[in-house]
Amino acid sequence: MTEILREMLGKKVDVNCGAGVLFSGEAIDLRDDVMVLRDADEKVVYIAVRKIVAVTESSEAHSRPGFVG
């Protein structure tokens, strides 16, 4: 899994951690069995590699339902 994740560095990805837990963003680093993502709001997310169930390259931006002001 680590080698596959390493190939995703620099790309926009969707990371599924099971049970409806999905993280989206740019894969910016992979170290010490932790994948580092930067989301659309520029927040950094750290994900334990052992918790990742699936990862895919993002094909388009996700819509965020809610109020538009």
65 pLDDT band, cuts 50/70/90, is low
- What's the total number of domains in the chain? 1
Mean pLDDT on 46-59: 94
Residue the block writes with tokens 């994948």: 35
Within a domain: 65: no
Residue 59: predicted pLDDT: 78
Question: What is the Cα–Cα distance from 29 to 11, expressed in whole angstroms?
Answer: 11
Per residue in 5-24, pLDDT (tens digit) is: 999 999 999 999 998 899 99
Residue 66 lies in a domain: no
Query: Would 40 be classed as within a structural domain?
Result: yes
Residue 68 in domain:
no
Domain-embedded: residue 45: yes
Residue 63 domain flag: no
Convert the pLDDT of each residue in 29-47 to its tens digit.
999 999 999 999 999 999 9
For 26, the domain range is 2-57
Q: Is the pLDDT of residue 67 over 70?
A: no
Flag whether 15 is in a domain: yes
